[in-house]
Amino acid sequence: MVKSLESGCYPSTRLRRMRTDSFSRILMRESSLNVDDLIQPLFVREGDNTAEPIQSMPGIERLSVDRIVSKCQDLHHLGIPSVVLFPVTPPEVKSDDARESWNPNGLVQRTIFAIKDKVPEIGVMTDIALDPYTLNGQDGLVNESGYVMNDRTVEVLIRQSLSHARAGVDVVAPSDMMDGRIRGIREALEHEGFYNLRILSYAAKYASSYYGPFRDAVGSATNLGKSNKSSYQMDPANVEEALREAAFDIHEGADMIMVKPGMPYLDVIWRIREAFGMPTFAYQVSGEYAMFKAAAKNGWIDEQALVLETLLGFKRAGCHGVLTYYAEQAARWINP
C-alpha cells in the first residue's frame, strides 16, 4: 500500500488501466479456483444400488456403498482429488457407548475398503466423531448429567480412527472438538505403524446453526433433540481461541487444519493461515449449500456465478482447498 503511494498516484497510476482488457485482468489475478481445490463430502447408507434424495440438500443423495464407488469414479475423472465420508447409521446400531463407530465391518469401514479397492487414486477422508453412533446425537460419550466426557470420548475416537486406518483410509478428520484427541490419535497411529496416515484437524469448529441440513441427512437431528454442542464446539464470537486450538492441534500432530463453517469465518481462515502457514481448509457446510440452493430455486441468484465467487473467496482468504457439497457441480462449471 505504502509502496504504491510512494511510486505515485493518479494520474500517473490509474488502477483501472490493468482492468481494461481480459488479458491484463488475467495477468494480475492473485488467486484462482481449480478442480483440485475441491473435496466432495458423501453420505453413505446401507443397501444396494440405492440413492435417496435429501430434502434440504437438493442434488445431494444418500448413496449405498456400490453407488458411492461409482460416484468416486466419476469424481476422479472430473479431477476431484478427495472425498470425505459420512455414514447414515441405522438407528438399531446406535448405542450409549457408540461401539458401532469402531466395528471393523461397519458401514464406513466397508465403504473405505470398497473405494480403495476400486478407485485407489482418490484420497479417502473420514470424519472422526461419535454423533452418527450415539443415542443422544452428541459427538462423545455423556455422563449422568448429559455432559460430554472428554478423555473417555478420546479413547473411543482412537479406536474409531484405528478401525478406519485398518480399512485403508488416507486421512482421518476429527470433528469432535475434544481436548487432546489429536495427540491420542497420532500416538496410536504411530504405535500401529500407520506413520503416513494424515490427520486433518477440524481445529476451529464452531457451535453453528449452519449444520441443520447435515443433521437431517445423517439422521442425528432427532437424537440430538433440543440439546446443543456448546460445551465443546467453539463460540462464534471467538477468533483468538481458534488460534490456540490450531496451535495445540499442530503441536499434537495434525498435518492439516480446517475451519468450519466456511463463509462466515473467512477471518478465522486468514488468521490461521497467516499464523501457521499450514495446509488450511474450509468446510462450506450444509446450511450454506441449502441457502444457495433455495435462492437459486426461486430464481433470485445466478447460482453458478455466486458459488464460484464464494469458492474463490476461500482461496483468497488463504485456503489450500475447500470441502463443499458443490464440488462435483463446480468441477463441471470450471471445466465444462
DSSP strand pairing (61-64 vs 51-53): antiparallel
What CA–CA distance (Å, rounded) separates 60 from 292?
13
> Active site includes 226?
no
Name which position in 256, 285, 319, 334 contacts ligand PBG (CB under 6 A): 285
Could you tell me how many residues make up the chain?
336
3-state class (DSSP) for residue 224: helix
Grid look-up 435429501 returns 54
> Active site includes 205?
yes
- Residue number of the CB atom closest to ligand PBG: 214
Q: By CB under 6 A, tell whether 178 contacts ligand PBG.
A: no
Q: Which string of x and - marks every residue 68-87 that binds ligand PBG (by CB under 6 A)?
A: --------------------
What CA–CA distance (Å, rounded) separates 167 from 318?
32
Q: By CB under 6 A, tell whether 286 contacts ligand PBG.
A: yes
Q: Name the active-site residue from 71, 94, 205, 315.
A: 205
Count of residues of this chain found to bind ligand PBG when the rule CB under 6 A is applied: 12
What CA–CA distance (Å, rounded) separates 22 from 221?
48
CB within 8 Å of 300: residues ≥ 6 apart: none
Q: Name the active-site residue from 71, 94, 229, 260.
A: 260
What CA–CA distance (Å, rounded) separates 101 from 304?
37
3-state class (DSSP) for residue 106: coil
Name which position in 37, 61, 100, 127 contacts ligand PBG (CB under 6 A): 127
Nearest to 125 by CA among 62, 188, 157, 83: 83
Shortest Cβ distance from residue 84 to ligand PBG (Å)?
Answer: 9
Q: By CB under 6 A, tell whether 211 contacts ligand PBG.
A: yes
Name which position in 37, 100, 139, 328 contacts ligand PBG (CB under 6 A): 139
Name which position in 124, 129, 178, 256 contacts ligand PBG (CB under 6 A): 129
Name which position in 43, 214, 265, 281 contacts ligand PBG (CB under 6 A): 214
Among all residues, which ones are annotated catalytic? 205, 260
